[in-house]
Amino acid sequence: MSRLAADKDLLIVRVAELYYEEGKTQDEIGALLDLSRFKVGRLLSQARADGIVRIEIVHPRARRLGLERQLRDRFGLHEAVVVPASNSADEDLKRVAQAAADQLTMLRPVPRTLAVSWGRTLTAVASSLEDGWARGVTVVQMNGGVSVNRRPGGAAPLAAAIAKRAAGHAVLLPSPAILDRLETKRAIESDRTIAGVLDQAAKADAYLFTAGVCDESSAHVENGYLSAGDVDELTRRGAVGDVLGRYVDADGNIVDPELDSRTLGLGLDQLRAAKVAIFVTAGQAKHDIARTVVRGGLCTTMVTDEDTARALLEEV
Amino acid sequence: MSRLAADKDLLIVRVAELYYEEGKTQDEIGALLDLSRFKVGRLLSQARADGIVRIEIVHPRARRLGLERQLRDRFGLHEAVVVPASNSADEDLKRVAQAAADQLTMLRPVPRTLAVSWGRTLTAVASSLEDGWARGVTVVQMNGGVSVNRRPGGAAPLAAAIAKRAAGHAVLLPSPAILDRLETKRAIESDRTIAGVLDQAAKADAYLFTAGVCDESSAHVENGYLSAGDVDELTRRGAVGDVLGRYVDADGNIVDPELDSRTLGLGLDQLRAAKVAIFVTAGQAKHDIARTVVRGGLCTTMVTDEDTARALLEEV
DNA sequence: ATCGAAATTGCTCATATGAGCAATTAGCTG
DNA sequence: CAGCTAATTGCTCATATGAGCAATTTCGAT
């Protein structure tokens, strides 16, 4: 045994320091510490395996490929994109948005029609897209959301921005997200213009969407479609969030069918059936709804941050 | 140029991900990205050089060998020990203390007589020493410090603890750190017992000491030797801290000769002359006095934390 | 104390990588 | 556009490292 061997971990630390910080070869380290180079090599492997040596890729555009593979395997996703955790929620969102923009830009074949939902997350994606990310894409709004309040994240400006940067055009859904009365929703839905847009959305080549949280910070509350009391009631019924305005519980079941019937836009079955459905999410508030989306097969591609990926993978 | 080359850094990130996270060879990566393996190798070197790939040794007993070498080179130290930054000041102190304990334990030849100062930092070192760290070491107190208040960090218990763990014995200096009157200090200093201890300390084989800050948290204030007003005055005179109770400015000059004359214990010249003088320090509050110590040649070995090392090396 | 199984070690040979060099390419200046 | 310099690239050859295997050592049970 070597002279230094008071403690195995301490030996591993010393070996790792000589190799990674001093740049010495395994042979040189062996000579210094009275060990064979094979033993030194094994100690280094162990240092990496035990996390004593940590090799990290530090860059805003970096990905976490290991987590991506685990997400694909665990949830049967066609593709997963995970970006490294940063020091703030805002930076996490920016990185996720940039990664989603990258995914859209690299999508092959290029979609001729792209259906989009709306919210702050997708607004960030739109901001990250470069001009010319594609050419001639028709961007169709797939759920209601005329902006009642003047806040960022409105559906119409978002779809328009994405379309503009692809030298395409936007097809808007001029309807509120949720109607007060079922009759009104049915009337709007039957209008030839609205029906045409929904039909176009249903036939889109690809879908880009995010999910909403079920609390006061919800875009629906911000935009006046729901009150704080409404979302409290939805939470009581087990809702973990919404997809395309459809409030669902952890198992993906609609928690309030009556409310759902008054909600205008594509249904979740249409996402399930899609060949390309890109789900973009960031932040801990959306962990629950994110889990529901990937478990429920509502997306083919997920773009998210490291903490969300770890949270989804943690569960037995 | 490769198909992916929209951005050089992005290429570097992708290459680094495939190599370090996917475990692919440089040949394999070259084939995937339409690059030569030599180009891949260069990109990886650049990734490490630019900090995009960060290789870190994460362990409480880890050292920062690069910083150690720089400290030795810059300040002419015989030895420097730097431990990685942790998440808290307490943990930093524990790591520095453990490293100092390691240094003492590995010191060759084993000192027959070890002179020690006192304070919270050395108390932590004493706590980190293992029983049997050496055999038969005489631990001599080298500056006054009978505990007036009952607080951890007292000189006598500290020397005793270090001695006990070395199956040795302690030689205490039964005197206050600072006397009220010069006559009293001279009388105590002349006492044969006290003179004998000081003489033994002066002839010690090795010295272990820390430095004190010049503010209200000073051990001298805590122990009642100085008032808060006293240290304010010392600060006004340019003091950055104390070594063995000797308050000095950034250049190592005694700021209050009168106070100094009433201070009992070895002088700084004796540290300067020592063959082995181990200086232990942690925390930002001591950066200034730490700089004075290493610049002034008051130690041969420095044991400190990463942030202190970087601060000392930062200055032109 | 013995025996068997598991763990560890040192080795051979193949693979992976880097240093230094010559050739090529890119960029700048006149 | 030409010429020169700097930067970059691909290569050879040597070095560094890892996989798989046989031998050795360690450990636990009887």
Pairing type for strands A277-280 and B239-243 reads: unpaired
Residues B32, B179: one domain? no
Distances in Å between the Cα of A149 and the Cα atoms of A172, A208, A221, A246, B217 are 18, 23, 10, 21, 55
Q: d(Cα A109, Cα A176) in Å, to the nearest integer?
A: 32
The CATH number covering residue A42 comes to 1.10.10
Q: Which residue is associated with the tokens 């002349």? A: B190
For D18, nearest residue by CA–C1' is: A41
For D11, nearest residue by CA–C1' is: B38
Q: A145 φ, ψ to 5°?
A: 170, 40
Number of domains in chain B: 2
Q: d(Cα B288, Cα B295) in Å, to the nearest integer?
A: 11
Residues A100, A227: one domain? yes
Q: Where are the alpha helices (DSSP H) in chain A?
A: 8-16, 26-33, 37-50, 65-75, 89-106, 120-128, 155-165, 182-190, 192-202, 219-222, 228-236, 257-261, 268-273, 287-295, 306-314
3-state secondary structure of A110: coil
**Contact pairs from chain A to chain B, CB under 8 Å:** 78
Strand partners, A114: A139, A206
ipTM higher than 0.95?
Answer: no
Of the candidates B196, B220, B179, B210, the one whose C-alpha atom is nearest the C-alpha of residue B280 is: B210
Residues B153, B248: one domain? yes
The CATH number covering residue A277 comes to 3.40.50.1360
List pLDDT tens digits, range B144-198: 886 555 555 578 888 989 999 998 999 998 888 888 899 999 999 999 989 999 9
Residues B96, B28: one domain? no
A→B interface, C-beta within 8 Å: 7, 9-10, 13, 16-18, 20-22, 47, 51-59, 61-66
Among A61, A83, A128, the residue to mutate for chain B (most B Cβ within 10 A) = A61
Q: Which residue is associated with the tokens 């070890």? A: B114
List pLDDT tens digits, range B229-258: 999 999 999 999 999 999 999 999 999 999
A47 in contact with nucleic chain D (CB within 7 A) = no
Residues A23, A79: one domain? no
Distances in Å between the Cα of B21 and the Cα atoms of A66, A90, B12, B18, B152 are 7, 26, 13, 6, 48
Tallying the residues shown for chain B, one arrives at 316
- Contact (CB, 8 A) for B161 and B126: yes
Q: d(Cα A63, Cα A86) in Å, to the nearest integer?
A: 12
Residues B120, B20: one domain? no
Residues A25, A140: one domain? no
Percent of chain B with pLDDT over 90: 72
- Scanning residues 1 through 60 of protein chain A, those with a beta carbon under 7 Å from any atom of strand C turn out to be 35-36, 38-39, 42
Instruction: Look up residue B34 and give its two tokens.
Output: 């339409």
Is residue A59 situated within a structural domain?
no
Q: Straight-line distance from CA A187 to C1' C22, in Å?
A: 78
Is residue A32 situated within a structural domain?
yes
- Contact (CB, 8 A) for A307 and A91: no
Shortest CA–C1' contact from A36: which nucleotide? C10
Instruction: Look up residue A57 and give its two tokens.
Output: 């890729």
Instruction: Look up residue A79 and give its two tokens.
Output: 């593709």
Q: How many CA atoms lie within 13 A of A61 on its CB side?
A: 15
Residues A199, A301: one domain? yes
- Scanning residues 135 through 194 of protein chain A, those with a beta carbon under 7 Å from any atom of strand D turn out to be none
Residues A155, A242: one domain? yes
Is the CB of B16 less than 8 angstroms away from the CB of A56? no
Q: Straight-line distance from CA B42 to C1' C19, in Å?
A: 12
> pLDDT confidence of B1, banded at 50, 70, 90?
very low
Residue A36 lies in domain: 8-50
Q: d(Cα B178, Cα A244) in Å, to the nearest integer?
A: 76
pLDDT in tens, chain A (316 residues): 334 445 788 899 999 999 999 999 999 999 999 999 999 999 999 999 999 999 999 988 899 998 999 999 999 999 999 999 988 999 999 999 999 999 999 898 899 999 999 888 999 999 999 888 898 899 999 998 865 555 555 788 889 999 999 989 999 988 888 888 999 999 999 999 899 999 999 999 999 999 999 988 888 888 788 898 999 999 999 999 999 999 999 999 999 999 999 999 999 999 999 999 999 999 999 999 999 999 999 999 999 999 999 999 997 5
